[in-house]
């Protein structure tokens, strides 16, 4: 059954690969709209990166930039990993800059899509959760038409910005806490599984000259792999990809349900995901803990091959 989704992102190398996998499967995922938020790069850059990707994919998806900064603090981005423009590697022609924006307010844009949909919508969130938190606060009536929120963020083990915190949750822990404690059904794709959702150097090399989508993925993942090696990982951990891989085939993952909140203090635990020990409320968050690495990797490789056929 086809799932209707809205996609909130900050492309970003790993967001970009997740976007490629998404549009390889129109039979499974119907993208109703996409929004951007300041995260891996500044808002202007990640929005332009999304425009470039959708131009490349020959899509006509309505998109809108959202919040440039977190709810409270200033933006801390990740240009050391993703490049100064947020997407190191590929280049696009000037024509790609002309991909249209449907709105200049991502939060109201999301509200319009969700409130007008005749069926519940899945939100895919691969960036700091600023837009989604504001959506839930400003338009609480939209909760009734949200089927689930699939998030890349957090960790129950260790972080990648601090020993405790993952990047997206560290950037805007206040927003992350609002979303996780909303009571809505949530699937959390944290570092516990995303460090193993990606491709090895050898797999990345096979993408070169294989076709237009594979070539783009190769150009994105080659510098990204070099940056990720600094984290001691044996593969390019395409963190955001886990959200789409899960939607396409949940059986690739195993997880457990928890009631969670996010530490939004200004101390050393800022951004840490914490298990709520009280019995009040529901265990609304499915935390993915295990992944079949080979199946996840093969799904991406197959998806890129499908896109190569469509774009050739």
Residue 232 CA to its chain's centroid (Å): 22
φ, ψ dihedrals at 3, nearest 5°: -105, 130
Peptide bond connecting 69 to the previous residue in cis, omega within 30 degrees of 0: no
Q: CB burial class (10 A; 0-12, 13-18, 19+) of residue 230? A: exposed
φ, ψ dihedrals at 144, nearest 5°: -65, -20
Q: How does 250-278 read in b/e, with b if 16+ C-beta sit within 10 Å?
A: eebbebeebbbbbbbeeeebbbbbbeeee
54 within 8 A of 144, measured Cβ to Cβ: no
Q: Is position 82 annotated as part of the catalytic site?
A: no
Query: Out of 209, 239, 257, 261, which one is annotated catalytic?
Result: 239
DSSP 8-class letter at 145: G
Residue with tokens 């059904």: 185
Q: For residue 59, what are the CA distances in angstroms to 8, 24, 162?
A: 17, 11, 38
Which of 73, 89, 75 has its CA nearest to residue 39?
A: 75
- Beta strands 273-275 and 260-262 are antiparallel
Catalytic residues: 239
């Amino acid at each position: 059954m086809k799932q209707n989704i809205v996609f909130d992102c900050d492309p970003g190398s790993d967001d970009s690969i997740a976007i490629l996998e998404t549009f390889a499967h129109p039979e499974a995922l119907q993208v109703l709209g996409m929004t951007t938020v300041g995260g891996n790069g500044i808002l202007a850059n990640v929005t332009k990166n999304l425009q470039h990707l959708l131009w490349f994919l020959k899509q006509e998806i309505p998109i809108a930039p959202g919040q440039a900064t977190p709810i409270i603090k200033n933006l801390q981005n990740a240009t050391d990993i993703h490049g100064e423009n947020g997407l190191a590697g590929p280049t696009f022609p000037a024509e790609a800059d002309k991909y249209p924006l449907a709105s200049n307010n991502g939060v109201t844009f999301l509200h319009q899509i969700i409130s007008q949909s005749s069926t519940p919508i899945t939100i895919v969130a691969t960036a700091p959760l600023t837009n989604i938190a504001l959506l839930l606060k400003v338009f609480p009536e939209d909760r009734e038409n949200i089927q689930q929120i699939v998030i890349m963020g957090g960790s129950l083990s260790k972080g990648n910005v601090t020993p405790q915190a993952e990047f997206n949750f560290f950037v805007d822990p206040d927003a992350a806490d609002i979303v996780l404690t909303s009571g809505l059904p949530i699937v959390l794709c944290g570092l516990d599984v995303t460090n193993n959702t990606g491709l090895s150097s050898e797999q990345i090399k096979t993408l070169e000259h294989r076709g237009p989508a594979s070539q783009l993925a190769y150009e994105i993942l080659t510098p990204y792999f070099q940056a990720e090696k600094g984290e001691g990982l044996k593969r390019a951990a395409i963190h955001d990809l886990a959200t789409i891989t899960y939607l396409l085939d949940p059986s690739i993952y195993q997880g457990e349900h928890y009631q969670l909140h996010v530490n939004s203090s200004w101390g050393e635990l800022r951004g840490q995901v914490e298990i709520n020990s009280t019995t009040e409320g529901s265990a609304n968050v499915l935390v993915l803990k295990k992944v079949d690495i080979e199946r996840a990797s093969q799904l991406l490789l197959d998806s890129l091959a499908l896109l190569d056929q469509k774009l050739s």
